[in-house]
């Protein structure tokens, strides 16, 4: 009798743990997309970033302001010939990645960094983003505001033989459910 009870309890524990694991896997992140690329939002945080980048140290925090960080991943690139060409400095962008608050005020990006695994030096030196690229985007925002939307604006073009004329893409990411 004890052996049957032990088997029954073991079976129930197995089913329970399998159900929990299935629920964990089904909580997939929302993919924000514009038809060219897809992005997932990994996390946001207020205060000095837990994953700071070197260039952030050059920026002094203004009085009455706080750092706001967004971490994301490029999870889809629909056209293998698409080149997402973010410059190494934020000031060279014709338009920029920015946040919008609940009043509609926009805040430009302070600095950003995109990292990806590479297999060669040429690939490491290329500004071309690819699937799996991780991004860290940093803002300096007035204390007490609530960011509601990230406007991810990026320059792109096709690889030869397609024309190299740069265009701008944009993905609007809702931040209201995250905070």
Q: Quick check: pTM over 0.75?
A: no
How would residue 6 be classed by pLDDT, with cut points 50, 70 and 90? low
Query: Is residue 151 in a domain?
Result: yes
Query: Is residue 77 in a domain?
Result: yes
Domain range for 44 is 29-174
pLDDT of residue 20: 46
Q: What are phi and psi of 81, to 5 degrees?
A: -90, 0
> Which helix (H) or strand (E) is 171 found in, with range?
strand 167-174
Query: Is residue 120 in a domain?
Result: yes
Query: Is residue 100 in a domain?
Result: yes
- Neighbouring-strand partners of residue 100: 106, 149
Query: Is residue 64 in a domain?
Result: yes
Question: For the chain, what is the domain count?
Answer: 1
CATH for 167: 2.60.40
Tell whether the model's pLDDT for residue 1 goes beyond 70. no
pLDDT tens digits along 77-109: 887 767 776 665 555 544 578 899 999 999 988
Query: Is residue 1 in a domain?
Result: no
pLDDT, mean over the chain: 76
Query: Is residue 165 in a domain?
Result: yes
pLDDT tens digits along 107-139: 988 888 877 666 666 665 665 667 888 888 889
The neighbour count for residue 166, using CB atoms within 10 Å, is 11
Q: Token digits for 23?
A: 């629920």
pLDDT of residue 124: 59
Query: Is residue 170 in a domain?
Result: yes
pLDDT of residue 24: 42
Judge whether 37 and 76 are in contact, CB under 8 Å. yes
């Amino acid at each position: 009798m004890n052996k049957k009870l032990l088997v029954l309890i073991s079976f129930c524990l197995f089913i329970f743990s399998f159900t929990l694991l299935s629920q964990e896997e089904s909580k997939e992140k929302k993919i924000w997309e514009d038809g060219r690329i897809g992005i997932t939002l990994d996390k946001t945080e207020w205060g000095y970033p837990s994953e700071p980048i070197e260039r952030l140290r050059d920026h002094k925090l203004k009085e009455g302001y706080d750092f706001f960080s967004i971490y994301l991943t490029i999870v889809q690139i629909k056209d293998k010939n698409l080149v997402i060409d973010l410059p190494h400095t934020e000031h060279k962008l014709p338009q920029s990645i920015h946040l919008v608050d609940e009043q509609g005020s926009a805040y430009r990006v302070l600095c950003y960094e995109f990292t990806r695994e590479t297999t060669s030096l040429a690939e490491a030196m290329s500004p071309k983003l690819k699937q799996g690229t991780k991004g860290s985007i940093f803002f300096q925002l007035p204390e007490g505001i609530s960011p509601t939307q990230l406007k991810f604006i990026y320059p792109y073009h096709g690889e030869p033989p397609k024309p190299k004329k740069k265009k701008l893409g944009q993905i609007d990411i809702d931040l209201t459910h995250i905070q």
